[in-house]
Structures are given as C-alpha cells and as structure tokens.
Structure 1
C-alpha cells in the first residue's frame, strides 16, 4: 500500500523531542553514573510493556521507579528526585524549526507518549513551542502503553483522522513498528539508536535526523 502525506503528524516525546539530559544529571547528582540512564530507561520500558502485555497496567513513573530500584541502591526519596527531573526536560535544538515547517505546510502536529501527563506540556512550554502543537496525548488516559495497537488508533480517533492519514515520528524502532502495524505511516530517525531493528517491518520513512524524517513525510504524495 502506497503511503500518502499525513494530515496529522504525531511525535513521540522522550528522546525524540525532549532531551533527557536533566534526568541524566539527576542520576549523577545522586552519585550514580549518567550512563546508567540507558539501562534504567530500557528496564522501564520492559516493565511497562510486560505489565500491559499480561493484562495489567502501571504508570510510567512507577515503572521508572521500579527500574531505578532494580538498577541502583537509591532509596525512595532519591529515586523520586531523579524521576522529578522528567519535569525539567527541554526540546532538542532541531525540534522548533522542524515543527514550524510542518505548521507552515498546514499539517497538524500532536505529541503521543505513554509517559507521565504534563511532561510533554512542560517541555514544549520551556522551549517556547507550545503554539506549534495542537494537543498532547498520553496513553495513561486509556491505561495502555505503546506499542500496543490501541494506543495509535486511540490517538487517530482523538484527532478525528483516519489512521492512514496520520504519521508517527519516533527515534525508537519499536514505536514506529507499533504505529505501522496499526495502519499509521511510520518515520524513524537516528537519535541514540544507531540502527533500525532488522526484525521489524522496514520503516516507511528512514532518516539520519529529525528534519530528514519530516522531509520524507512531506515528500509523500498528497
């Protein structure tokens, strides 16, 4: 099936749009190496995915706290301080011009995360780009985690658009895979992940950076 230019582009939040540097800094302040963020973040996803797959559910913050408890010996107050740093995230430098380009092209922009409500809003406001985003969506509202199919279909329904006219841009291959399996157009770019998983369906759009991912979407036929 050939893809069409999307009417709505949804962006993943953590890492894709917002820099996790404050969380890394909070780990260092707690006396732990900043490099620990990647395994903690990976374990957070594992906990959340497993909970959802087995028919239960947990909040992103609770999964992150459990991951910290498993990967470190931090006590509860220090783990909470690290988690609070998600509220201090800011957009990567390439985000504002990329979102502005979509807005100027008449394409609606939303964010889609399974992260804690308020994180995307605070980060967008800190970067001064709130006006470029129509709405922020967290799948906590439906007690689900990406890459479950229901999350992407819920997002499309919330935006009153057919799944095939919605795209997801993410720096995470598993997120793009989930979106494409739900009927959305997927756009993956490299930010932290150096390669797209070969076991997944090939992304509809593959790029070296965020701007390139959006360029690929804009190049699709209307």
Structure 2
C-alpha cells in the first residue's frame, strides 16, 4: 500500500486512545466481581450512543454512560447505589494517560504537527480529563461531539473539525484505538490511524476501510509520521 501523504493536523480520540480506560476496572470488579465487565458496559455505551445518533436523538455521553451502567447492572441482577454512579463519573474524569502518549506527543509537537482532540464526551466544569492527565498542553484545540449533538462516527462530527481547522479532509488524520472511529474518519475523506490497544482489533471484512496506519503504540505512530 502506498504511504499516505503527511497530514497537516493530527486529531486524537481521547477515551481509551490517550487515557487509560482500565482505570475504571476496580469499580466493575467491586460491582460485578469481574473487572472485564468494563468491556460489556463500554460496548453498550458505544452501541446506544450510535443508536441515538442514527435515530436523530441526543443525550450527553456521560448521562448515557450512567444509564448504560444501570442497564448492565439490571441485566446481571446487581443493585446500584448513587455512590456507584458517582464513582463512575469520578473515575471517567480522572483516567491517567497511557505511558506511551506524552513522549510521543512531545516528539510530534517538536516535529511541527498541529494536534487537536475530538471526543464523544461533553465539556464539563473544572479541570478537563486531559488537564488532569497532564496532556492538555499538547493540543491546539479540543472538539466535542456535543457541538453538533451527534456521536462519532457521524460525518458531522468530523466535518466540524475540518471546518474549524480550515484544513482539507485529506490533510487530517484521525488517531484512535476504535476501528469504528477510523472508519468514520476515512469515510469523511480523512486519513485514519488505528492504535491497537488491548480489546481492539481490525475487522477483516469486504468494504471495511483499512487504516492508513496501524500500530500498537503511539510512539511507533510518531516514528512513521515523522519519517513520512
């Protein structure tokens, strides 16, 4: 496959791509006796966020996350208390950065790349998760789907970034650990870079866009982008 043209703007997904979702595992271990239940909850959250968008509806991601936890608990016969929902919100808001992220971002910044984020999460009061994780300084802007009231991978979520950054779609690269996100970006004319975090993989099926880059950590992506 021919190497893609070097992008002008790198657009990073936040949850799980930059910030470590396993920070939530102790909550699921306490509630369900199995930290891997985090993955069932997260799959429900993504399924219903996309279902809302396809139905022309919108509820902020954090509220859907709490609802998905209630749903998962009901399915498994677990009783939730308000403090459980509070802990979910606290843990989501304080996820640490993956160890490969800051060094790679620093190298990309030194190499002259413009960098922004695009997240399903709505903005909130107080320090942002990126600020708490020590990553906010690397990004020129932070975009949220809350601005268009549609969740990724809806085309409008990517279009708002291209318009705001005044950059042709082909010069933007979406970096995410979720293939559904890179699929949406590539369908919008962007480049796509898949970071193969645990519990994420390619989907080998006809018609599914293959990411322009596929790596198992962001440092390796930096190597390829800087060398391109």
TM-score where L is the length of structure 2: 0.88
Shift of the alpha carbon at 1:186?
Answer: 0.3
Q: C-alpha distance in 2, partners of 1:68/1:88?
A: 18
**Aligned residue for 1:117?**
123
- Kept after mapping to 1: 8 A contact 2:94/2:133: no
**Aligned residue for 2:41?**
40
CA RMSD of aligned residues (A): 2.0
Q: C-alpha distance in 2, partners of 1:84/1:173?
A: 27
**Aligned residue for 2:12?**
11
Q: Which runs of 5+ in 1 are unaligned?
A: none
Q: C-alpha distance in 2, partners of 1:61/1:13?
A: 14
Shift of the alpha carbon at 1:4?
Answer: 1.6
SS of the residue corresponding to residue 61 of structure 1 reads helix
Q: C-alpha distance in 2, partners of 1:41/1:160?
A: 33
1:123-158 deviation line (CA, Å, top 9, x unaligned)? 322332322111111111210100111111111112
1:204 paired to 2:209: no
Q: C-alpha distance in 2, partners of 1:168/1:217?
A: 13
1:83-105 deviation line (CA, Å, top 9, x unaligned)? 33111111111110111111001
Shift of the alpha carbon at 1:118?
Answer: 4.3
- Kept after mapping to 1: 8 A contact 2:177/2:200: no
Q: C-alpha distance in 1, partners of 2:157/2:11?
A: 12
* Alignment partner of 1:151 out of 157, 175, 190: 157
- Kept after mapping to 2: 8 A contact 1:23/1:83: no
Shift of the alpha carbon at 1:66?
Answer: 1.9
Q: C-alpha distance in 2, partners of 1:198/1:27?
A: 30
Q: C-alpha distance in 1, partners of 2:62/2:79?
A: 15
TM-score where L is the length of structure 1: 0.90
Shift of the alpha carbon at 1:21?
Answer: 2.9
